[in-house]
Structures are given as structure tokens and as C-alpha cells.
Amino acid sequence: MAVYVDNAIWPWAGRRWCHLLADDEAELHRFAARIGVHRHSYQGPPKTSAPHYDLTGFERDRAVRMGALPVGRDVIVDVFRRVRQPRKVSGAAAIPAAAE
């Protein structure tokens, strides 16, 4: 299974950030722990539809050295689409009432 990291281009809190994704959520958590990324950096359902970690540029460099595949925007979007999970919607809100 592969772990992917995009470019650290997203500015927030005075730093540049990127995303760490994997083909499997368990592998994602194992890899993040191996590179010393805290679980509080995890973003996943229900907050976002695709399990991922937000990394700083420094953490990104460490991830690449430890085996993450550096990828561009097109690839990270493909991975995001592949691993995303359907959002849970309340049955009442999701299904319109039948017309009488």
C-alpha cells in the first residue's frame, strides 16, 4: 500500500501545509505515527470525507524521507476521490416526503 503527500502550498498560521493520504486508513495512521505526526493533525469523517493528515512543510520532508510518495495536485485529488467515504445524512433530510 502506498502513502502519498502533496506539495506544501496551503498557507495557514504562518506556515505552508500539505496533505498526507494513503490507500488504507490503518496504513495512514501507522505511517503518521512512524514519522511522529500527532493524531490531532488527522482529518476524517465526519469533518471531511477523505481520511488524511495535515502536515507542515517540515513534516512533509520527513514523510518523503520515510517513504511517502511525493505527488502533484492531480494525483492527490485522484487518491482523495478513491479513499473518500460517503457522508452520512439523516434519513429525514435525505429523502423528501412522498407527495400525497
Q: Is the pLDDT of residue 98 over 80?
A: no
Q: What residues does 70 pair with on adjacent strands?
A: 5
Q: Is the pLDDT of residue 91 over 80?
A: no
Q: Amino acid letter at 90?
A: S
pTM over 0.85: no
Give CA torsion, residues 79, 84, 34, 66, to 10 deg. 0
25-44 in b/e form (b: 16+ CB < 10 A) is: beebbebbeebebeeeebeb
3-state class (DSSP) for residue 97: coil
- Residue 99's pLDDT is what? 43
Q: In the structure, what pLDDT confidence band is assigned to residue 48 with cuts at 50, 70 and 90?
A: confident
Q: In the structure, what pLDDT confidence band is assigned to residue 92 with cuts at 50, 70 and 90?
A: very low
Distance CA 8, CA 19 (A): 8
Q: In the structure, what pLDDT confidence band is assigned to residue 88 with cuts at 50, 70 and 90?
A: low
* Whether 51 contacts 81, CB under 8 Å: no
